Structure 1
Amino acid sequence: MATEKKVVLVTGGNTGLGYEIVKALYASSQPYALIIGTRTLSNGEAAVAKLKSEVATSNSEISVVQIDVSSDASIEAAVASISSTHGRIDSLINNAGAAFDFEIQDGKRSIRDGFNTSWDTNVSGTHVLTTHAVPLLLKSSDPRLLFLTSGTASIWETLPENWGNMVALPRINASPPAGWPKPPSVNPITSYRSTKAGLNMLMREWARILKEDGVKVWSISPGYLATGLGAVPKDLQRKMGAQEPHLGGEFVRDVVEGKHDDRVGLAIRAQQTQPW
């Protein structure tokens, strides 16, 4: 049965940045029908229990749907369930993602497997889900489509002359010493940033495809956050300058609530537009 509350689906919503997005929306004064998309229902249910313990009161309702973006059958079943229960999606937040660069560097995955799995999760699966969800988005009076990208995906910022005063850019973009093999990186990101650059083009394609349908589309670059992504310990991420994850959740909430409608179709950071 359709609800009057804005229906928001957050993939990968049970942990990391996804959880912080759900939490920020759940704590908002605006009422939502929030849907946590999770590969394992028990993890989603645990996230709901944690959320309700951390946010005492809310105007929103929350539910869980099983969705694995690497499985077409899982995607189709999840969209059918949301269609039956809610009748539409007002905001689709494509947050589910993965990073396998440490596993590649440590020899736990081959380069091909790491790249292909990362691309399948971060780009292909996101595209399949979006394709299936579009009919529900078009039933909304204010449809919003968000893709969670990365600050590391900016090609323009890989050039030394564009680093400016941003401390992180030399760390991730400076060249290692000559010779082979190269020394291990403290934070390898080659496959991850490559897929996120691809995701930005996917966002531009969806912005083009859905422009005349009135769907607002963005890539959201939430900043470097201590979420433990890619098996990097959160404390190590903080030492490397990562901010607290709730800041990213609050930024995404602001996009959902219309505070960045002047930057539709772009990759956006909280304080600036991210260069391509």
Structure 2
Amino acid sequence: MSSNTILLITGATAGLGLETIKSLSRLSKPYIILLGGRNLDKAKAIAREVKEEFPSNSNVIEPIQVDIEDDGSITKAFQHVSAKYGYLDVLLSNAGAKFDGDSLKGKMTTREMWNKSWDVNVTGTYIMTHTFIPLLLKSQEPRLIFITSGTSTMAESSNTALAVNRSPAKGWPKQEFSVPAYRSAKAGMNMMMREFTCMLKEDEVKVWCISPGFLATGLGTGDPEALKKMGAVNPLIGADFVRSVVEGARDGEVGKVIRKDDVQPW
């Protein structure tokens, strides 16, 4: 086995996934980072850019093609990692997407939007995880991490300090900022995490959902600057938090949805 921690990150060519790779690259501890992306050429370009940004870092950053909506792509990625490395220490399921706005804009029907929201954030993530579990079980310290959302908490859904929880004016249709499909899917992901926690307890796999906070990435609107005006923070803050979990900072809170400073209620 390699002495380096082997980490696979899905959706790693942008946003939180990419910032997490950069956060890991700022450290002296060596990693083998499998940079997962739907487009292999883009993944290769991003890997080169990160190595150029951190030339003294000893990380191995290997781009791999994986699309969590494509079972064949997931299988090929598994076969590649299995043949080359034989095991995996950390699976970071970061790939996810918001499509609620596409329905409002007429780019998708309501049914298409809801189905795709669950297909990407829950079904695809489940299949990816289920496929890679045999490699995690060969690790001496396996970790399984899902990136969820602060909007997924049902206990805090009445907190109107968050715009997503505010009731719009009467009348129909509702055009205000709303993400019912996205937040419902992420709540479903939280339950999926609990299932894996139970399923893998005797295998001693550490499992979490990470709620990284409101980050200024391209998720949803595709406009980080617009999100900053709404209160979103630098994605590096979320990335450093994710890195800390990879390195063991929250090992006492497995099986939970964790935020930077506390545990997110269900």
TM-score interval, smaller chain: over 0.9
Residue aligning to 1:265: 255
Q: What is the deviation of 1:256?
A: 0.4
3-state SS of 2:169 partner: coil
Query: What is aligned with 1:156?
Result: 155
1:213 aligns with 2:188: no
Match of 2:265 in 1: 275
1:127 aligns with 2:117: no
**TM-score of the two chains, using structure 2 as the length reference:** 0.97
Following superposition, the deviation at residue 176 of structure 1 comes to 1.1
Query: What is the match of residue 22 of structure 1?
Result: 21
Counterpart Cα distance in 2 of 1:175 and 1:194:
17
5+ unaligned residues in a row in structure 2: which ranges?
none
Deviates more, 1:74-83 or 1:228-237: 228-237
Between 20-29 and 194-203, report the one with greater CA deviation: 20-29
The 3-state SS of whatever aligns with 2:17 is helix
Whole-Å separation in 2 of the counterparts to 1:74 and 1:97 = 16
Shift of 1:5: 0.8
Q: How much has 1:46 moved relative to structure 2?
A: 1.1
Hey, what does 2:190 align to over in structure 1? Answer: 200
Question: 1:100 Cα shift?
Answer: 0.6
**Which residue is equivalent to 1:180?**
172
Name the residue aligned to 1:53. 52
Asked if 1:91 is matched to 2:90, the reply is yes
Larger mean Cα displacement after TM superposition, 58-67 or 210-219: 58-67
CA-CA distance at 1:242 after TM superposition: 0.3
8 A contact 1:221–1:267 mirrored in 2:
yes
Secondary structure, in 3 states, of the residue corresponding to 1:44?
Answer: helix
TM-superposed CA distance for 1:220, in Å, is 0.3
For residues 34 and 25 of structure 2, what CA distance do their matches in structure 1 show? 11
Report the Cα offset of residue 79 of structure 1. Answer: 0.6
Question: Which ranges of 4 or more aligned residues in structure 1 deviate by more than 6 Å?
Answer: none
Counterpart secondary structure, 1:50: helix
Instruction: Check the 8 A contact 1:26/1:34 in 2, yes or no.
Output: no
Instruction: State how far apart, in whole Å, the 2-side matches of 1:49 and 1:65 are.
Output: 13
Q: Which residue of 1 aligns with 2:31?
A: 32
> Which amino acid in structure 2 is aligned with residue 157 of structure 1?
E
Counterpart for residue 220 of structure 2: 230
Mapped to 2, the partners of 1:14 and 1:103 lie a distance apart of: 22
| Structure 1 equivalent of residue 116 of structure 2 | 117
Instruction: Name structure 1 gaps, 5 residues minimum.
Output: none
Distance 1:42 1:116, change over 3 A: same
Aligned length: 266
Q: Which amino acid aligns with 1:188?
A: S
Q: Is the CA contact 1:105–1:188 (under 8 Å) kept in the aligned structure 2?
A: no
Post-superposition offset of 1:86: 1.0
The TM-score with structure 1 as length reference comes to 0.94
What CA RMSD, in Å, does the superposition of the two structures yield over aligned residues? 1.1
